[in-house]
């Protein structure tokens, strides 16, 4: 009889110990939405093309501005679930447009060869 209680006590202590070790904090939708918006904004800012006059730079600035607006509305007290349903697809579409915009290709035309070159000239040409 005593052995039976000892086994139950060991099993209960094992369950208690594993539940404490494996415990996670409950899912928080506000925190999830905030993290999603911050990650989206940082992905758009993490490029040297952001402030250049290119299609990709313009699209990145547009996505950053939109995510800032959504972050402000989240901070103003809008429900996080409403923000998630309304704006996550738009944010994903903006990011997809940025990645789809393509690379900037610069074509340099070669100047014609000049046989008589003036080495003493001060002009740049």
Q: What percent of the chain has pLDDT over 70?
A: 84
* Token pair belonging to 109: 């035309």
Residue that is written with structure tokens 């100047």 in the block: 111
9 confidence band (pLDDT: 50, 70, 90): confident
Higher-pLDDT residue of 70 and 13 is: 70
Contact 91, 67 (CB under 8 A): yes
In-domain check, residue 67: yes
* pLDDT tens sequence across 71-110: 999 999 889 989 988 999 999 898 888 888 876 666 777 7
As a whole number of angstroms, the distance between CA 51 and CA 63 comes to: 13
**Residue 113 within any structural domain of the chain:** no
Number of domains the chain contains: 1
On whether the CB atoms of residues 55 and 101 are closer than 8 A, the answer is yes
Instruction: Categorize the per-residue pLDDT at 37 as very low, low, confident or very high, splitting at 50, 70 and 90.
Output: very high
pLDDT tens for residues 100-109?
887 666 677 7
Domain contains 46: yes
- Please report whether residue 8 resides in a domain: no
Residue 31 lies in a domain: yes
Residue 83 backbone class (left: φ over 0; alpha: ψ -120 to 50; beta: rest): alpha
**Residue 72: inside a domain:** yes
Judge whether residue 23 has pLDDT over 90. no
Domain containing residue 92: 27-100
């Amino acid at each position: 009889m005593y052995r039976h209680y000892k086994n139950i006590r060991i099993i209960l202590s094992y369950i208690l110990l594993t539940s404490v070790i494996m415990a996670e904090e409950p899912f928080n939708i506000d925190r999830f939405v905030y993290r999603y918006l911050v990650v989206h904004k940082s992905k758009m800012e993490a490029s040297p093309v952001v402030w250049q006059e290119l299609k990709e730079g313009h699209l990145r600035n547009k996505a950053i501005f939109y995510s800032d607006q959504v972050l402000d509305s989240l901070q103003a007290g809008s429900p996080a679930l409403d923000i998630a349903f309304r704006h996550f697809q738009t944010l994903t579409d903006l990011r997809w447009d940025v990645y789809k915009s393509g690379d900037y290709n610069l074509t340099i035309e070669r100047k014609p060869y000049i046989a008589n070159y003036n080495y003493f000239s001060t002009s740049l040409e």
